Amino acid sequence: MTSEIIYKGELRADCKHLQSGTIIETDAPTDNKGKGERFSPTDLLATALGSCIITTIGIKTEDMGIDLKGTKIDVSKVMYADPRRIGEIEVNIYFPKNLNLDEKQKTIIERIAHACPVSKSLHPDLKQIINFYY
């Protein structure tokens, strides 16, 4: 098993990662009867995409001798209605200003970003917008 989820009531749940014991609390968003005081499940999905992108890029760039420490990612999701679902996720990747990459390295990074496992697991109707700021 990967995780265990306990419903706490009031549209909240504790999600436990079984290998590490880490707990993430979730809450329904304010536009869907929740308090919006924690990540919502859809927030976690959007965040998982950003985290997967930087992790897979990090795996490759470590092999290339490139240090991405300090890289920042902003993630935004857009909810669609009928049916209610995530329609778009925008991921903005801001690399450190002192990082000097050539065009070949940038191409490798960008291809990896679009091929991370979370990206490939999402439905093709979900629009993924990935922007790179070098």
Q: Tell me the CA end-to-end span of the chain in Å, nearest whole number.
A: 39
The pLDDT, as a whole number, for residue 64 is 96
pLDDT at 98: 94
- pLDDT block averages, 10 residues each, the chain of length 134: 97 98 96 95 98 98 96 97 96 96 98 97 97 98
Architecture of domain 40-133: 2-Layer Sandwich (3.30)
Each domain of the chain, given as residue ranges in start order, spans: 1-39, 40-133
Neighbours of 31 (CB within 10 A): 10
Kindly report whether the global pTM for this prediction surpasses the value 0.75: yes
- Report the b/e string of 55-77 with b at 16+ CB within 10 A: ebbbeebeeeebebeebebebeb
What pLDDT is recorded for position 65? 96
* Ramachandran quadrant class, 109 (left: phi over 0; alpha: psi -120 to 50; beta: rest): alpha
Cβ atoms of 2 and 17 within 8 Å: the answer is yes
Residue 25 pLDDT: 97
